[in-house]
Amino acid sequence: MPTLTLAARRSRTAPLLLGTLLCLTGCPDDPTEGEDEISTSTSESSTGDSTETSADTTESSSTESTEGPEPFCGDGTVDDGEECDDGNVTDTDACTNLCTNAVCGDGSLQDGVEACDDGNLDDDDGCSSTCLIESCGDGIMQAMEECDDGNTDDTDACTSLCLTAACGDGFMQAGVEECDDGNLDDTDACPSTCLNAFCGDGFTQADVEACDDANMDDTDACLTTCVAASCGDGLIQVGVEQCDDANMDNADDCVDGCLAATCGDGFQQAGVEECDDGGMNGGCTEQCTWLSRFAFVTSSLYTGNMGGIAGADAECNMRAQAAGLPGTYMAWLSDNQVTPASRFVQSSVPYIKTNGAKIADNWADLTDSSLDSALDTTEQGTPSPDGGNTCNSSIRQVFTGTFSNGLIATNTCSNWTSEAGQANIGQTNITTFRWSNCGSTGSCAAASAIYCFQQ
């Protein structure tokens, strides 16, 4: 008997299978022909030889038992041409309804084994060649993925989004990036290099750095501390500053604006210039020396407690500044440490009163026991005040504690710190040596004026 193909067998209907079982020796082509034969047989059975009928029945039964039903897919028996036969026509188990072993790519979804089966072994179509639903991290790069390394590790070259790792993606790539804050902002703690921000990286970090020029040069506009260069920072900015001594002292060799001190800049350089009036020549020469020096009697009166010579010097300078006089001033006083002869600038130019009258030609003339005119004018250009002591019947006197040669006399009110005791005094309305020491003493408690000399 010829064997049917699997496809042909599967297309047979159940009635056809039943007919096959009933047709033991072959079925007639015409149904009516069978009916006649049955009728004749019946008639013969009733009138003819009963033995013949019995023989035919025995032959028919023998034939049915020998051939049996025709095999088909799903009968539970693996026949020729079948890979398997599990006795059912279910397509979701290990044996398909074509009696073939279920495999990935056959188009049938095998329960518990396959997640998908699209009938092919193509990758990148949603269902992989291993019948798994394709997704990021499965190791298969799909059209919408830049990469797929088979894992969801965000610290390697392919992120869990299946995008190639890049600075600014928010994932810190191990061994490559020091930081990754998910942006490319160069003003925060993690710039577009994904390296931690630092002074000298060329990116100015907001609220942390004033500047960042990507170098360690302290002579340009941005220092190695990422602070903007400025006059007074102690670092000379090339092409901008002539000097920078890290202070605002205009009496040294570097003045305001970080310019080297020069005669005529308006700042008196201590120990170098006697004066500097900015080129106005108002009593100061072009060589920054005084044309003359002022001397005056204070318009204020003091007891012998003036806070020492330093206190008296301060009073002289306050009186001069109030009157608009130039330069600095010292009091004509001595104590057991210093004298005018030891601490004054010994002038080579004339000493003059504030009204312009000359007192002496120079230091030598001032200390030779005779003045050109009496030192009797205040810083304001007014006559010297009356003091509380008397000298040669005159109350125009001052505290000095000093001889006319600039050296210490005997009495100094405990170095000008006490109202007790006596002090040598001078007379303001006289030109002899008595201008500094009139030959008598006065009470330290009696208020008197003092002499002040420009240095």
pTM, 2 dp: 0.51
Question: What is the pLDDT confidence band of residue 272, given thresholds at 50, 70 and 90?
Answer: very high
Lowest mean pLDDT among 296-300, 315-319, 394-398: 394-398
Task: Report how far residue 212's alpha carbon sits from residue 152's, in angstroms, rounded to the nearest whole number.
Answer: 38
Average predicted confidence (pLDDT) for the chain = 86
Question: What is the pLDDT confidence band of residue 42, given thresholds at 50, 70 and 90?
Answer: very low
Q: What is the pLDDT of residues 149-190, one digit of tens each?
A: 999 999 999 999 999 999 999 999 999 999 999 999 999 999
Q: Which residues contact 444 (CB under 8 A, 6 or more apart)?
A: 303, 304, 305, 413, 414, 418, 419, 420, 421, 422, 423
Task: Report how far residue 145's alpha carbon sits from residue 199's, in angstroms, rounded to the nearest whole number.
Answer: 38
Q: What is the pLDDT of residues 224-246, one digit of tens each?
A: 999 999 999 999 999 999 999 99
Q: List Cα–Cα distances, 366 to 334, 382, 435, 447, in angstroms.
A: 16, 22, 11, 26
Q: Around Cβ 221, how many Cβ atoms within 10 Å?
A: 14
Place of tokens 């869990």: 160
Vertex 40, ends 35 and 44: CA angle to 5°? 150
Vertex 446, ends 325 and 394: CA angle to 5°? 75
Place of tokens 């577009």: 192
**Is residue 13 predicted with pLDDT exceeding 90?**
no
Q: Which residues contact 43 (CB under 8 A, 6 or more apart)?
A: none
**Is residue 66 predicted with pLDDT exceeding 50?**
yes
Question: What is the pLDDT confidence band of residue 125, given thresholds at 50, 70 and 90?
Answer: confident
Q: What is the pLDDT of residues 128-140, one digit of tens each?
A: 888 988 889 999 9
Q: List Cα–Cα distances, 93 to 119, 125, 129, 398, in angstroms.
A: 16, 24, 19, 129
Structure tokens at 117: 């089966």
Do the bridges between strand 293-297 and strand 351-352 make them parallel or antiparallel, or are there none, so unpaired?
Answer: parallel
Task: Report how far residue 340's alpha carbon sits from residue 113's, in angstroms, rounded to the nearest whole number.
Answer: 114
CATH number of 293-454: 3.10.100.10
Domain boundaries, the chain: 293-454
Structural contact between residues 162 and 146, judged by C-beta atoms closer than 8 angstroms: yes
Strand partners, 451: 297
Task: Report how far residue 386's alpha carbon sits from residue 449's, in angstroms, rounded to the nearest whole number.
Answer: 8
Q: What is the pLDDT of residues 352-380, one digit of tens each?
A: 999 999 999 999 999 999 999 999 999 99
Query: Which pLDDT score is estimated for 7?
Result: 40
Distance of CA 142 to the CA centre of its chain: 41
Mean pLDDT of 188-207: 97
Distance of CA 107 to the CA centre of its chain: 61
Query: Which pLDDT score is estimated for 318?
Result: 98
Place of tokens 């059975």: 45
Do the bridges between strand 422-427 and strand 451-454 make them parallel or antiparallel, or are there none, so unpaired?
Answer: unpaired
Q: Which residues contact 189 (CB under 8 A, 6 or more apart)?
A: 179, 181, 196, 197, 205
Question: What is the pLDDT confidence band of residue 55, given thresholds at 50, 70 and 90?
Answer: very low
Of 216, 227, 172, the closest CA to residue 196 belongs to 172
Question: What is the pLDDT confidence band of residue 392, given thresholds at 50, 70 and 90?
Answer: confident
Structural contact between residues 313 and 379, judged by C-beta atoms closer than 8 angstroms: no
Vertex 160, ends 156 and 164: CA angle to 5°? 55
Task: Report how far residue 12's alpha carbon sits from residue 2's, in angstroms, rounded to the nearest whole number.
Answer: 15
